[in-house]
Amino acid sequence: MHRFKMNSCFQEVLRIGVKMSQRLSVWAAVAVVVFGSLFSSASWAQMEEVGQLKISAKEAQRLQELVNKPVDPGALNATKEALLKEKSTAARLLGDTVNEEKFLREAMPFANDNWAKSSLRELMWIKGERAEAYRLGEELAKEIAWLPLRVSAQIELSYYYMQDQNLKRAGELITQSGEIIRNEFGMLPRRGLAPYGIARAEMIYFAGKSELESRSGQWTQAIESSKLAVAKSKDVLRMLSWTSDENIKSRGREYLLVIQAMHAKRQMDAGLASDAEWTLREVFKTAKSFGFSEASMVRFFMMLAEHYNTAGQFKDALQFSQKIETLLDAQNLDQESHFRLSAQDKIHVALAGMDDWAQLIKRLDVAEVARQKAGRVDKQVALRGWAYLKAQRYAEAVKLLDAELQSNVASFGEAHFYTALTRGLLAQALSMGGQKDQARLAFDKASLNLSAPESLSGDFAENAIQRKMKRFILQSYMQLLSPTAASNLHDAQILFTVADQIGTSSVQQALTEAAVRAGVNVPGLSDIIRKEQDARNEITNLSTYIANQNSEVAEKRNPQVVAQMRERKLELEAQRKDYKAQIQKQYPEYFQLIQPKSPSHTDVAKQLKADELFVSILPMDDQTYVWAIDAQGGVSFHRSPLTESAVQGLVTRIRKTLDVAGYGSKAPAFAHADSHQLYKELLGPLDAKLQGKAHLIVATSGALAQLPLAVLTRSPNAASSPAESSWLIKDLAISHVPTANGWLSLKKLGEQASSPQALMAWGDPAFDPKASQVAAAPVGSVVRSAVALRALESVSRNVMDAETYVNYSKLPTLPETRDEVLELAKIMVANPAQDVILGKDATRQSVLKSSASGVLGKKKVVVFATHGLLAGDLPNLNQPALAMAGNSNPNESPLLTLEDVLSLKLNADWVVLSACNTAGADGKAEEALSGLARGFFFAGSRSLLVTHWSVESESAMQLTTQTFAAYQKDPAIRRAEALRQGMLSTMKSPNYGHPAFWAPYALVGEGGR
């Protein structure tokens, strides 16, 4: 805690010069202690760094003269109080804590409103004299007569206890405050500005309650309390019209913004990144409407930089961090100041995220000098070690990371995620330093703890830089193993397992979060989940406190409390292992969803038929790894020199010649050479393995997941017409799977008997509930409208941009999908009146109702002909979703979210996502597809038919109807083979030989029968 959070606020408020100023001073102080000052005068940030503020020699002389000025013992008490207040402030600005304490104690006997005692309590806390600080705080909480001020004092004191992790006493104080508000506030007089003070105290109470709940791991409750605090802050703001004093009005506006920012922080802590971004957008808009300058918003920009680093928007994070540095330059803060070092930390993360290692190393070396000069503990040791590895400073990396590993083991335990990350980085440092045997042992242990934590759902939500660091560690492990994998079966197996872990991790966190929310509604399972989550969240807060204590200087550490917390942590970890074992035994499918186990090559081989080949392709920074497994257990492994960026470049060029259906006969020529290069590098070495095979199952991720492999060409020479080219799909049916593990789960599902009834379809949803009539389907060829999705745009958006998010009621309608779903119903011999739901009836509730009634679980084919949305496309959308018909009820969402999908009861051979372009040309879309796919698989679908680009309506109808006609005609045909036949049939049609028309659909999942 920084000293300005109490005293500077007193100085600001006590200068107001109105009758109520002294009465309000404690409230203002409380709010700043509780939340920090996000918005304030340009000099406010300087006051945080007392002793580091560059005071001119002239000003220092003036302050010293004030400190030396004698107090006339015969003066009036008010005169003595005013002078002692000035003297204590001068001493504080000079860093003279001895005289500051002396002046505050002298002022206490006659100081109005206990300002001296409050300031002394704060000083004692900063000096580490906790017992004295607590004694003064407890006295203040009892001495203050006016109830709103007493509530404020109690909440302020509760924050002190929370910082010492004494949540019990903090909870008692907050409970007492709540009882005062509920039982006694109603009897208080409401004259003058009293309602303003009452509302302000209630605001502070809910904010304190939210903080306690957050520290206790009760994140949902913490968000609800912060919502109430925001509501009360708006009451406070409305009451500002009762006073003409601009200083009071300014402070009231600050409260609203600070509380809104706190609410955003709660959302960030709970992993609700999209919610947090929308809240921060509101904070920024409100701040600008209040006239706050950017110079007064340093803390706000700090929060934005942290948010965007967490979300992986590193360019935005760097922008805001650099803006902070510019603002601090103007405020003349030392390089060793807390603000400076904090801003630099955020720049370091952003640079690592952007792979600007040269610039990062330069900055880290400069920051290290400033940090040591300031006497601060390095909180970015793992990041520094990673940068040393990139700079080939291996000896420094080993020394740094070895010490950090010992610290992490002591603080968090052997199996914690932090420990595993540090051990993985150390393993690479050892490997590059020539200590291969030691590196192998460290990699083995780190990989296990990164991929299979002892607890159910990990210790916390990984942020973007941690996921990138984890990927680097697993890639480094693969580099160590790959030279021996061709001759060592054990190493080849580990290599295959690690590759599957990398493919799984990109979408696992969002899927786990949605699965946990869905599981809360399952009787029996829900109790275990809640207990596990409570234990996890408590461990998170205990670990945070222990880590913070390790970062404190010796006089501020509390070893007894830390020892107690470590004991409690051990108890909770034992409980979590038990919860995990219970779920694994009683709910194995759910367990596999949230903590998937990577299979061995023999597990895969056992599920293959003689004419099938399983291929896993993993592009990495330095090369691409390819495995092929056949039904006899034979494994082929090779490495292509194509790097991840090279693969992305090839895919991007190919995609530019595919999303062109709107050009008709003028569509550009297909990128044949790029397509063949991909085939030659990735599948060419497997030509012998592919001989005699009819079905190719391919696990891909990253850029390759944005491309249906049907468009790869086996010959370097382009044919005279596109339909005559050597497309891979001509020789093989193809199924795409996110991971080997996911495919094996689907094979088990395939053992169940197919549903008896044909089809159920939702199409052409009416997104605008106020639309008076259904849009008519266009005549002739048309390319289906695509949503201009913010999350799919190549340029990221931030909270300072104009609002360009999706307007739900303005989503492009899809009238042409009516004909498609009705034709499918005809082919599948379904009843259109019962089985096809269109227009305003195609709602989320209709989907959930059909699932709950058991109707949906009896259908072989389920169709959603609608748009797909990604996290961030709409306010409060934190997961991928399908856009269903709109409604006029603001409390009823029109979105069928991933969480909803997980709750469906299906037994479907196919789920068709027609027109949603979920697999768009963007990494985020690929993750959304993987998340939705696994959600539908868990719900009971064996496969998905998805589009990769905007389709032309007539060719799309021909392709889907031909596919399902083949599937309906032959009871033994594979789903992947039915799609292949549909593609070949469409390809032969006049004007549809270009793959833009016959290749937009891909089968994801189990392509068998």
pLDDT at 7 exceeding the cut of 60: no
343 part of a folded domain: yes
Q: How many CB atoms lie within 10 A of CB 257?
A: 24
Give yes or no: residues 302 and 289 share one domain.
no
Q: Which H or E run includes 639?
A: strand 635-640
Q: Which of 281, 296, 311 is the last residue of a domain?
A: 296
Q: What is the per-residue pLDDT for 4?
A: 31
96 part of a folded domain: yes
pLDDT at 50 exceeding the cut of 50: no
554 part of a folded domain: no
Q: How many CB atoms lie within 10 A of CB 230?
A: 21
* CB within 8 Å of 834: residues ≥ 6 apart: none
Q: What is the per-residue pLDDT for 616?
A: 93
CA geometry: angle 636, 706, 716, nearest 5 deg: 60
Distances (CA, A) of 953 to 660, 687, 783, 958: 13, 36, 6, 9
Distances (CA, A) of 413 to 408, 645, 806: 7, 37, 45
Give yes or no: residues 190 and 301 share one domain.
no
Give yes or no: residues 364 and 389 share one domain.
no
Q: In b/e form, how buried is each residue of 386-415, taking b as 16+ CB within 10 angstroms?
A: bbbbebebbeebbebbbebbebbbebbbeb
Q: Tokens 């093989």 belong to which residue?
A: 732
Q: What is the mean pLDDT of residues 851-863?
A: 95
Range of the domain at 73: 4-296
- In this prediction, residue 788 has a pLDDT band, given cuts at 50, 70 and 90, of very low
Contact between 87 and 70 (Cβ < 8 Å): no
Give yes or no: residues 100 and 249 share one domain.
yes
- CATH assignment at residue 36: 1.25.40.10
777 part of a folded domain: yes
Q: What is the per-residue pLDDT for 924?
A: 58
Give yes or no: residues 8 and 21 share one domain.
yes
pLDDT in tens, 446-503: 998 887 655 454 445 578 899 899 999 999 999 999 888 877 878 888 888 888 878 6
CA–CA gap between residue 47 and residue 53 (Å, rounded): 7
Average pLDDT, whole number, for the chain? Answer: 83
Give yes or no: residues 284 and 307 share one domain.
no
Q: What is the per-residue pLDDT for 201?
A: 93
CA–CA gap between residue 711 and residue 427 (Å, rounded): 40
pLDDT at 21 exceeding the cut of 60: no
* CB within 8 Å of 354: residues ≥ 6 apart: 314, 315, 318
Q: What is the mean pLDDT of residues 85-95?
A: 90
Bridge-partner residues for 762, per DSSP? Answer: 837, 864
pLDDT in tens, 809-818: 888 888 888 8
- DSSP per-residue string spanning 578-603: HHHHHHHHH-HHHHHHHSPPPPPHHH
Contact between 791 and 804 (Cβ < 8 Å): no
Q: Is 736 helix (H, G, I), strand (E, B) or coil?
A: strand
Q: What is the per-residue pLDDT for 599?
A: 84
Count of residues making up the chain: 1009
Longest dimension (CA), the chain: 108
How many helices and strands, by DSSP H and E, does the chain display?
A: 40, 14
Q: Which of 263, 296, 329 is the last residue of a domain?
A: 296
Q: Nearest CA to 663 among 956, 991, 904, 171?
A: 991
* CB within 8 Å of 249: residues ≥ 6 apart: 240, 243
- DSSP per-residue string spanning 451-479: HS-SSSS-SS---HHHHHHHHHHHHHHHH
Tokens matching residue 882: 């399908």
CA–CA gap between residue 339 and residue 891 (Å, rounded): 42
Give yes or no: residues 30 and 110 share one domain.
yes
DSSP 682: I
pLDDT at 787 exceeding the cut of 80: no
Q: What is the mean pLDDT of residues 740-756?
A: 77
Q: What is the mean pLDDT of residues 683-704?
A: 93
pLDDT at 39 exceeding the cut of 80: no
pLDDT at 9 exceeding the cut of 80: no
pLDDT at 379 exceeding the cut of 50: yes
**Total tally of structural domains belonging to the chain:** 5
Judge residue 17's burial from the number of C-beta atoms within 10 Å of its C-beta, 0-12 exposed, 13-18 middle, 19 or more buried. exposed
CA–CA gap between residue 61 and residue 57 (Å, rounded): 6
> How large a percentage of the chain has pLDDT more than 70?
85
- In this prediction, residue 47 has a pLDDT band, given cuts at 50, 70 and 90, of very low
Give yes or no: residues 832 and 809 share one domain.
yes
Distances (CA, A) of 506 to 106, 466, 498: 61, 12, 13
Give yes or no: residues 737 and 758 share one domain.
no
Q: What is the per-residue pLDDT for 252?
A: 78
- How would you classify residue 787: left for phi > 0, otherwise alpha for psi between -120 and 50, otherwise beta? beta
1006 part of a folded domain: no
Q: Which of 895, 922, 945 is the last residue of a domain?
A: 945
Residue 919 phi/psi, 5-degree rounding, is -95, 55
- How would you classify residue 75: left for phi > 0, otherwise alpha for psi between -120 and 50, otherwise beta? beta
823 part of a folded domain: yes
pLDDT at 802 exceeding the cut of 60: no
One-letter amino acid of 931:
G
pLDDT at 24 exceeding the cut of 50: no
Alpha helices by DSSP H, 113-183: 115-126, 130-143, 147-163, 167-183
pLDDT at 40 exceeding the cut of 60: no
Highest mean pLDDT out of 247-251, 596-600, 974-978? 974-978
Q: Is 522 helix (H, G, I), strand (E, B) or coil?
A: coil
1004 part of a folded domain: no
Q: Is 236 helix (H, G, I), strand (E, B) or coil?
A: helix
- In this prediction, residue 855 has a pLDDT band, given cuts at 50, 70 and 90, of very high
Distances (CA, A) of 105 to 6, 119, 368, 418, 657: 17, 10, 39, 45, 78
Tokens matching residue 730: 């001509």
Highest mean pLDDT out of 264-273, 546-555, 842-851, 956-965? 842-851
- CATH assignment at residue 726: 3.30.420
Give yes or no: residues 126 and 209 share one domain.
yes
Q: Which residue has the higher pLDDT, 119 or 427?
A: 427
CA–CA gap between residue 47 and residue 9 (Å, rounded): 10
CA–CA gap between residue 752 and residue 737 (Å, rounded): 20
Q: Nearest CA to 636 among 701, 697, 688, 713?
A: 688
Q: Which residue has the higher pLDDT, 850 or 278?
A: 850
* CB within 8 Å of 894: residues ≥ 6 apart: 767, 808, 843, 844, 883, 884, 885, 886, 887
Give yes or no: residues 166 and 239 share one domain.
yes
Q: What is the per-residue pLDDT for 459?
A: 47
Q: What share of the chain is helix, strand, coil (3-state, %, to 5)?
A: 65, 10, 30
Q: Tokens 């004007």 belong to which residue?
A: 991
CA–CA gap between residue 848 and residue 926 (Å, rounded): 25
- In this prediction, residue 517 has a pLDDT band, given cuts at 50, 70 and 90, of low
Q: What is the mean pLDDT of residues 917-926?
A: 52
One-letter amino acid of 129:
E
Q: What is the per-residue pLDDT for 678?
A: 97
**Residue 1009 exposure: Cα atoms within 13 Å on the Cβ side:** 13
Q: Is 561 helix (H, G, I), strand (E, B) or coil?
A: helix
89 part of a folded domain: yes
Q: Tokens 């502070």 belong to which residue?
A: 204
* CB within 8 Å of 911: residues ≥ 6 apart: 861, 862, 863, 864, 936, 941, 943, 944, 945
Contact between 601 and 627 (Cβ < 8 Å): yes
One-letter amino acid of 837:
I
pLDDT at 283 exceeding the cut of 70: yes
Q: Tokens 């150390």 belong to which residue?
A: 426
Q: What is the per-residue pLDDT for 79?
A: 94
Q: Which residue has the higher pLDDT, 242 or 743?
A: 743
Q: Is 136 helix (H, G, I), strand (E, B) or coil?
A: helix
pLDDT at 878 exceeding the cut of 80: no
Q: Is 661 helix (H, G, I), strand (E, B) or coil?
A: helix
Q: What is the mean pLDDT of residues 268-274?
A: 79
- In this prediction, residue 552 has a pLDDT band, given cuts at 50, 70 and 90, of low
Give yes or no: residues 923 and 877 share one domain.
yes
Q: What is the per-residue pLDDT for 799?
A: 64
Judge residue 747's burial from the number of C-beta atoms within 10 Å of its C-beta, 0-12 exposed, 13-18 middle, 19 or more buried. middle
CA–CA gap between residue 10 and residue 66 (Å, rounded): 19
Judge residue 221's burial from the number of C-beta atoms within 10 Å of its C-beta, 0-12 exposed, 13-18 middle, 19 or more buried. middle
Q: What is the mean pLDDT of residues 329-348?
A: 84
